[in-house]
Structure 1
Amino acid sequence: MNEVCVRVAVRVRPLLPKEVLHNHKVCVRVVPDSTQVMVGTERAFSFDHAFGPTASQDDVYESCVRPLVESLVEGYNATVFAYGQTGSGKTYTLRGGHVASLLDEQGGIIDRVAQDVFLLLGQKKQNGAAQTTVRVSYIELHREELRDLLELHTNHKELHIREDDRGNTGNNHSGQCF
């Protein structure tokens, strides 16, 4: 596994139909054949990965997330953290174009991770690997409130992320690591 602990990728989404209708202009673009993003005409920012509006879900997954899944199956922790303002494309990137997109090219990171984790674990089991337990959290931080989107009863329940003295991270509603 590579020594780099954190990598940062940026994905520039295309203008939405309502933005085109209101004559909004693109102000962020990816510099061709680079990992730089230009804001306006003078400000350049460099990232580990930069994806323009024509990048596919598969492009993002294969470059940024698949290596994490492979490491995860080998026993390493992995986190995909999506950050951006409302409407910037986080949900599309994570969940995909629509609910029935699991095998579709518009399927998001979550669909693809689930598919690959169980595929890779199945391969390990065929090779005689020990029993494996999978625990998943899908946490949303919105307006300084934390919610586990997989736990139905956390809409009004306050969640806290804690780390024990061994460096294990967990939450207060299950006591399990995530």
Structure 2
Amino acid sequence: MADVCVRVALRVRPLLPKEVLHNHQVCVRVVPGSAQVMLGLDRLFSFDHAFGPTDNQDEVYESCVQPLVGSLVRGCNATVFCYGQTGSGKTYTLGGGNRGTLVAGGIIDCVADDLFSLLGEKRKSGDVVEATVRVSYMELYTEVLRDLLDLHAIHKELHIREDERGNTGNSVCTLD
């Protein structure tokens, strides 16, 4: 992922059955053969990747996340940040999908499979492998931060720390 720190991908989900039932119309479309989406009839927005309703979990993972796994094995950090309104498909993309695809579940399952596979390959090749794997799965909803991997924590309060000038741009967020 040469010299690019942040990449932005957009995934447009299909209409839900209840939306079809209520005659809702598609208002966001991926422009075929591009990484652009069209809002309404004439507003174009460009992204690093754009996936439409017919694109599957495999395509999203292979294009956006799989390259990060190799970087992880080389010692880099990686973050996959999903943003969108309730019902927009974040949990579907991260945690599960159509079981009929190559991808058994969501992005999380694929990262775990690929990461441990790559670490195993390095070990088999005779490389000395010492690895610490830390994973966070956080949800921020109505200013409440939840660790979705900690079954015992109901919620934790998020505190934004400002620097001495009152700037929050590079501030530290701490959990109490």
What TM-score do you get using the length of structure 2 for normalisation? 0.85
Amino acid at match of 1:118: F
Sort the Cα spacing of 1:156 and 1:140 in 2 relative to 1 into closer, same or farther, 3 A. Answer: closer
Match of 1:78 in 2: 78
Amino acid at match of 2:18: K
Q: Does 1:144 align with 2:143?
A: yes
1:33 & 1:156 partners in 2: Cα distance?
Answer: 42
The alignment covers a number of residue pairs equal to 166
How much has 1:156 moved relative to structure 2?
3.4
Amino acid at match of 1:147: R
Extract unaligned runs of 5+ from structure 1: 174-178
How much has 1:129 moved relative to structure 2?
2.5
Match of 1:176 in 2: none
Determine if contact 1:147/1:159 at 8 Å carries over to the other structure.
no
How much has 1:159 moved relative to structure 2?
5.2
Question: Cα deviation per residue 1:140-175 (whole Å; 9 max; x = unaligned)?
Answer: 11111111111122213335688xxxx9x89657xx
Question: Cα deviation per residue 1:48-84 (whole Å; 9 max; x = unaligned)?
Answer: 0000100010000000000011111110000000000
1:41 & 1:112 partners in 2: Cα distance?
Answer: 36
Q: How does 1:117-128 map to 2 (within 5 A)?
A: 117-127=115-125, 128=127
2:97 & 2:121 partners in 1: Cα distance?
Answer: 29
Amino acid at match of 2:135: V
Match of 1:48 in 2: 48
1:129 & 1:31 partners in 2: Cα distance?
Answer: 47
1:28 & 1:64 partners in 2: Cα distance?
Answer: 20
Extract unaligned runs of 5+ from structure 2: 162-169
Determine if contact 2:37/2:44 at 8 Å carries over to the other structure.
yes
Match of 1:108 in 2: 106
Determine if contact 2:73/2:118 at 8 Å carries over to the other structure.
yes
Determine if contact 1:29/1:39 at 8 Å carries over to the other structure.
yes
Determine if contact 2:140/2:146 at 8 Å carries over to the other structure.
yes
Question: Cα deviation per residue 1:8-55 (whole Å; 9 max; x = unaligned)?
Answer: 000001111111111000000000100000000010000000001000
Determine if contact 1:161/1:172 at 8 Å carries over to the other structure.
no
SS of equivalent residue, structure 2 residue 157: coil
2:155 & 2:31 partners in 1: Cα distance?
Answer: 43
Aligned CA RMSD, in angstroms, stands at 2.4
SS of equivalent residue, structure 2 residue 29: strand
Match of 2:8 in 1: 8
